Amino acid sequence: MAWLERLNHAHSQPLLENLGDTWASLLERLGPVSPFELAVLGGQAMPTPGLAFLTGYQAALRVLWPSAPASLGALCASEKRSVRPADMHMRLDVDALRLSGDKDFVTGGMDADWLLVAARCESISEDPRLSLAVVYPGEPGVRLDLLPALPLMPEVGHARLHLDQALCERLAGDGWDAYVKPFRSLEDLYVLSALTAWMYGIGRANGWSQSLLLRLLALLAGCAEGSRQSPEVSASHLLLGGLFAQFSDLRDELNKALADTEGEWANVWMRDQGILDIASAARAKRLEKAWRLAGFS
């Protein structure tokens, strides 16, 4: 496991003037890595849970779109807090390859360099159908409005996206089945990997107990196995549910270890630990369905 060897020879990545510079510096230090290695090694290097989240999020995007540029990107799907195709108003003109509409959130805010945008593409009288397209901030018809900083991970900016006949590149495959739906599980897995690695890095540097560090490593090994599974099969949801349950069982012990560690680690974790509760209701529904399909009552 190359990631395990490199995990014990880690470096720290400071927050630079902006997220784009911070990300570029991290990639230069890491060199060529797989998405899972990016989440784990990058997550451990980051100074805050919010930046570890960003690293896991970027790793998940690279599983979703292997041809993604090296710079920061974002998946833009939600409209008025819904990702249901029927609730979306963003439209793709499939002939002209033009996008028009609004999206709630751009993770990374004004530092995002490319955007994957889910848009309706069906003809009149057809059921809602999605495509996924790529647009680039700064191009005609693309506008980002910076949103106020959130109490949760404030160093990770967010923006609202407005498109007006913006020229785009359409990705192959169904926008829902090939992209939006699987990304929910990919994001969960790679963000959990990054945050677990962040915890491990703090613990290793500050002399946490061998027992706690070994359990964090075991959790990362489970995440590594999860990265080899298709996010579309029910078995992957069972595994992901088990990994989140393991982390949950460690939370009290991790909170105490952080509180006993010199520095601001406990404060930033208390501020940002709600990251893992994002989309928890949707994750629970996927787990419940997988549980039934597996034959459990």
Domain ranges of the chain: 2-64+178-293, 73-170
- Can you give the pLDDT at residue 295? 83
Name the percent of the chain lying above pLDDT 90: 86
Cα separation, 220 vs 125, in Å, equals 47
Which of 24-38, 155-169, 277-291 is predicted least confidently? 277-291
Which of 86-90, 122-126, 185-189 is predicted least confidently? 122-126
Q: How many CB atoms lie within 10 A of CB 53?
A: 27
- Can you give the pLDDT at residue 282? 86
pLDDT digits (tens, 9 = 90+) for 225-247: 999 999 989 899 999 999 999 99
pLDDT digits (tens, 9 = 90+) for 258-288: 999 999 999 999 999 999 888 888 898 898 9
- Can you give the pLDDT at residue 128? 92
Cα separation, 50 vs 271, in Å, equals 9
pLDDT reading at 1 higher than 70? no
Residue 13 near residue 22 (C-beta atoms within 8 A): yes
Q: Which fold has domain 73-170?
A: Butyryl-CoA Dehydrogenase, subunit A; domain 2 (2.40.110)
pLDDT reading at 195 higher than 70? yes
Tokens 């990300």 sit on residue:
23
pLDDT reading at 297 higher than 80? no
Type of residue at 69: P
Q: How is residue 159 written in tokens?
A: 């923006």
DSSP string, the chain: -HHHHHHTT-------SSHHHHHHHHHHHH-S--HHHHHHHHHHHSSSHHHHHHHHHHHHHHHH-TT--SS-EEEE--BTTB--GGG---EEETTTTEEEEEEEEEETGGG--EEEEEEE-PPTTSPP-EEEEEE-TTSTTEEEEEPPPPSSSTTS-EEEEEEEEEE-EEPSS-TIIIIIHHHHHHHHHHHHHHHHHHHHHHHHHTT--HHHHHHHHHHHHHHHHHHTS-TTSHHHHHHHHHHHHHHHHHHHHHHHHHHTSSSSHHHHHHHHGGGGGTTHHHHHHHHHHHHHHTT--
Q: How is residue 153 written in tokens?
A: 């991970």
Residue 179 near residue 118 (C-beta atoms within 8 A): yes
Cα separation, 172 vs 164, in Å, equals 22
What's the chain's average pLDDT?
Answer: 95
- Can you give the pLDDT at residue 281? 86
The DSSP bridge partners found for residue 143 are 162
* Prediction pTM value: 0.96
pLDDT reading at 114 higher than 70? yes
pLDDT class of 58 with cuts at 50, 70, 90: very high
